[in-house]
Every structure is written in C-alpha cells, then in structure tokens.
Chain A
Amino acid sequence: MAYEKFNILKSTAVPLPIENIDTDQIIPARFLKATERLGFGDNLFRDWRYSSDNNLNENFVLNNCIYDGKILIAGKNFGSGSSREHAAWAIYDYGFRCVISSFFADIFKNNCLNIGVLPLKVTQEDLDYILELVFENPSLEITVDLMNQKLIIPDKEFQRFFEINSFKKNNLMNGLDDIDYLKNMKDEIINFSNKIPF
C-alpha cells in the first residue's frame, strides 16, 4: 500500500515512557476483525485511551492536549508480542511517522519499515534524555533527517547518527516497499525454486 515518502520530519513528540509495550496494547485483538486497512488509528492504545465504559482516560498521554506530533517516544522493547501489522497501521493512521525507542521488537520493526513508519533506535541514555526534554518542554521540536540518518534537537544542539540499512532507507525515501523489488525477480525466483527439494 502506498505511503507518504519519508524525508525530513520536523515535529513535536508524544512521550510514552513505558517499557515492553506489546502489540496487544497498541491494538487489542478484538479490533483485528476488519478485512480492509481502514480506521485503525481510532483504536490505537484503545484500552489505555479509554476506560472499560468507553470514557476518555484523561491521564493517558494521547488524551493530554499539551502533547502532540508525528513522533512517538516509547520505552524499551516497543512492539513485542503478536506479529499483527495492524499495530503499525494504527500508529501510521493515527498520524505518527516515527517511533523513537531504545529497543524494538523485530517483527514490529519490519512491519513499520514496510509501511512507512521509521523505527528510530537510540541508546537508553539518549532516550531518557530526550524524554526528559519533552516532559520539560512539550513544544520542543525534533528533526529526523533520514537522508543523513540524523536525529537532531536544534534547541539543545543535540545531534545523533542512527542506523538503518540502505535498502530500507531507499524504500522509505521513495515510498517503495519490498514487493516493488521482488516483482522484478520473478524468473530468478522460479529458477531458484527448482533447486529446492520441498
């Protein structure tokens, strides 16, 4: 599915300093019944955003109007558990384009990269520092420069290089996905399949 090309992102951020946030929290299983990729953002962090009687939980950060932006900052091991891509869809659909954490679960990370969300890994020390800055100043602007692989906080003269493999970087910058690449390998794949016993 086509997604918005990722180049330079300048945004405020939403802090969520909880560790081990699994994909069941990002989108509970009961919202996976759809047959189309539509409206998952409404149920992003559903059981944290709303109480059991469907009232807004005022204490949850997404319901706190002082925090806003296209960047989500979360505690370590973000996106663990179920492989549901719906979790990445919900994050994208809600409006986030980048998640910053000190550690991402593998399947979730791949899912994000496949749909145009950048999972940006920083050290635990940097994560704690950035969270602190955002709590101090919710209107702090953060810049993610994908081309140069840099995370920048202009006000604080903070700049960090981040890792991403060049193939995925190219995909994100051009709004491509792996299928665009694999389509052109059809004959090579069919030939290869003849060498495989099963």
Chain B
Amino acid sequence: MNAINTFFLKILLLPSGLYRRMGVDIRHLKAILTAKLMMDDRRPNPIQQARRNKSNKPVTAATLGMIFFTTIMGCVFLVSFAVGKDYITRLTIYFSFYIFVLASTLITDFTSVLIDIRDNMIILPKPINDKTFLLARLLHIMIHVSKMVLPLSIPAMIYMGIKEGIQGLFPFMLLILAATLFTIFLINALYVFILKVTTPEKFKNIISYFQIFFAIFFYGGYQLVPRLISKAALENYSVTTSMWACLTPPYWFAGSWNFLRYLDVSFPLPVYFLLSMALPVVSIWVVIKYFAPSFNQKLSLISGSDGDGAPVKANSKGIISTTSAYITQLSKWLTNEGAERMAFLHTWKITGRSRDFKMKVYPSLGYLVVYIVIMFFNTKNKVSIDDIRDQVHGGKFIFIGLIYFSSFILVMALRQITYSDKYKAAWIYYITPVKTPGELIMGAVKAAIVKFYFPMVAITSVIAIGIVGPKVIPNLLLGMSNQLLITTVVAYLSIRDLPFSTQQSNASKGGTFIKGLFSMLIPMIIAVGHYFLYTNLPVIILFLVLSAIACWLLMDAIKTKSWDKITVGNYE
C-alpha cells in the first residue's frame, strides 16, 4: 500500500471509539479496508490499461497514476476562471464542469470498484456484522471519492487562495464538499432510476452508453464551444443574464460563494446559500431513506454470475435473439455461401451486441461526427450554401472532405473487427474445415461495410444531391467507389487476424502506429487527387471505372488469403 492510502486509512480510523460504540468491529473494518485499498492500487486505470501489454509487469500504484491524471484534469478546469466577467459566471462554469466530470467518472466506478459482487461470496459468509460491513463500504466509497475530489479541486483551491485569500478559499472548500455530496446523490438517483426502468442485465449496457455519450459530449464541447463563441464574447459573458441559470445547482453554489466571500446579503444570494446547503443534506437523507435499502440488493443482481436469481427456464423470458430476415436476405445477396456468409452474419451480430466493440468504435464515430461539423465551422472564408450548390471555392472542398472523412469511420470500425475480449472463442475457426480464411475476413469486411458505410453513403448522397443536384452524381460515385477502395486496401494490408480473434492489449505491437498513419494517408492522397480532377468529367468517369475494378480485384485478393498469411491465435 502506498502512502496516500495509508494516510486515508489512518484518518478515517481516527474515530474508532465512536465506531466501536456504534457496534462496529474495528479489526474487521481495518482488514476489509486494507484489502480493498490494496486491490484498488492494483487495478489498472484507463490510461494504464491502454498501455499495458500482456507481458508487462503487474499494475502497482494505480492510485498514484489516477491522482496524477486527475490533478491534470483539475488544472484544465482552471480555464473556467478565464471566462466571464464576474465570479458568479466563472464559478457556475467551474461547478458545472466539476459535477459533470465527477459524475461521469464515478458512474462507472460504482459498479466496477466500489460495489464488488465478489464481496457477497467472500465477505458475507464470514462472521462479520452488518454494521461493520456497511461502514467499511461507506468508508471505502469516501476514500475513493476523496482520491478523485482532492486532486480535482486542489488546483482551483490554490487559485482561489492566491486570488481571494482565506476569505475566498474557505467558502470555496465548503461548496466543493456540498457539490461532491450532491454529485454522489445524482449518481445514486441515476442508478436507482435505471434499475427501475430496466433489467439488471441491461444495466451495464446502459452505463456504457452513458460513457460513450459523455466522451462524445466532452470532445464535442471542447472542440466546438471555443469556435462558436469569440474570445471577446467569452470574457464579457455573464451567466446572470440567463434566466434559466438560476434554476441550476452550479449557479446556487456560485451564488453562495459570493454570499460567503463578500457577505453580500442582497436578495437572491442568501437563498442560493440556503439551497446549496440544503441540497446535500436532503440528498443524503433521500439516499439513506429511499435508495440504500434496496440498492445493494439490486446491484448484486447486476452481476448475474451468482445464481441468486431463479434459474432461467427454457422458453421463458431471457433475451430471445433472432437475426432479422432482412439481414439474412442481405447476406444472401452480398456473400457467397459458406464461410463468408457465416462470417458476415457473425460479425453483424457481434458488432451489434458486444459491449466491448461498441465501447471502442462508437466514441470514435462520435468524434468523427464532431470533426465533420467542425469542418463546416472552421473553413476560413465562410462557405455559403450557394458555394456548395455551385461547387466552387470551399464548396468543393467541403464535399470532398465529407465523403473522404466518412471513410475514416469505416476504416476505424474495420480496425476493431479483429479484436474481442472473448478472443479465445475464435477456436471455432481453427477446428472447422475452413479452406481459405480469406473468406472469413471478407465476410467480416462486408458486414462492416454494410453497417458503417451504407448509412453514411445514404446520408451523404441525400445531402449532396439535395443541395447540388444531379450534376454531383459522377463525383459522388467516384467518391463512394474510392471509399470502398480505401477500405479494401486497408483491409488487405492490415487485417492479418480472423474476426474477433485477438486481444486488444496485443494491439500495441510494433508497426500499428505506422499502419494507422498509413490508413489515414491513403484516403488523404486519394482525396487530394479527386479534388484536382473534380471538374473534369471524362477523367472522373475513367477513374470511377478504374477504382471499381481495383476494388473488385482487391476483394478477390482478400477472399483468397490463405492460412499462411493469417496470424493464428495463440492459446496459452
């Protein structure tokens, strides 16, 4: 255990006498907390997870890594103090950031770290009383939250201390505490709400959709907001001008700070102060009174691993999976019978159902959408609809950009198709008499094309033809064909594994970066070429034919890839 954990443990065990009087067994309490903190320290955080190879040494001091990362995040928050002309605006923004980030981080920690289902089997059969267990859990949550909250808020506290002195710092600290309690309440409420409207089995999916949404929202906000609002406007912005702002908790916290700092008792400020103090108290009360009793029990259902629930009976509920007839039909048109069709349907289902896959691909899809939106805002000389319609100036650029940028989506999805956390299940490919594994790859590639390329093509076509009219069609077709070409080139060159047959952590072997760069470079070169030939119709048509033929040949090449070109998964 590192110094930070030991420190927290010491602090929280100080009121041992009080705990004992409450009926808590201090020895058990200490044992549980020590074990829990030790485990926290060895659980890889997201950054370490990304970097970690199988061969790497085990995770140690995860806590320090997390604290470092969170401190940086806390420094980023300081940006909000550069915005707006008064403290109430700055603090409203700060508290909004703070609550948002804390909530989005803790939302996953609650299931993965703080409420460990294994506790039920390991700790509960031991002679330990409920109060001890409950307090251990509470203190563990407190330590975990503190490890998030302190580094997150310390940069701002230092700023406050320097700028406003002690009179500014103490109210700020108090309000951070209130905001933290409020956030915990928010998460609890959200959990209870999700558990009410859905089944525990779907719970994890919903939480991961939240994560995807948060990731995209952050990225979009980070990219778009500064572009949409000019610097001068930001500096003169005051939140007090918006009526709705005074209904949100961050605004109350900001108002209370003004109240406490300047002892300003003008009308709404004391009300905000009362509201911000009452909010956490009411939150805690609601959590204890309404949520806590059923909460643990319901959470323990989430795992589903222990047969606590009644066994699933045949033909009763449970998820009944059927592949829609339309996909089956589609697979008949697009693929040859046998391995290729099987891989197509398999990929279609896995990409639609695997949480792992969605978590990796959908955020990057979201980033791309954000990028595309930015392109519209970012072109230096403003592009008018007329420009796009007449295909002049930036209009041409935007059109090309849109088409080729959307090919990144497909390439991105394609690069994930070989990975799966259930990679060991790929034994099915090796024990079955598959002659050419290329067919499996082709089936998977086709499924990715249908899933991630067709919708994009449909949207771009509708937009392009809608705005520009039929004269855009040759260029549109060339663009589409080139997108397919890019995809097949990338697939041919980079896919050496069967679909869903390797572990993501193996991905960081050498050359991946180059491959990634390469797969970005190809579309860019083709796009530039296309841009210069844009108005030359005969050449465009010639290239369209060539591109289509190249596509066809490449697909054939992928399909006939033999076993010696495939990395056979290793099973230890």
| A and B associate in one complex | no
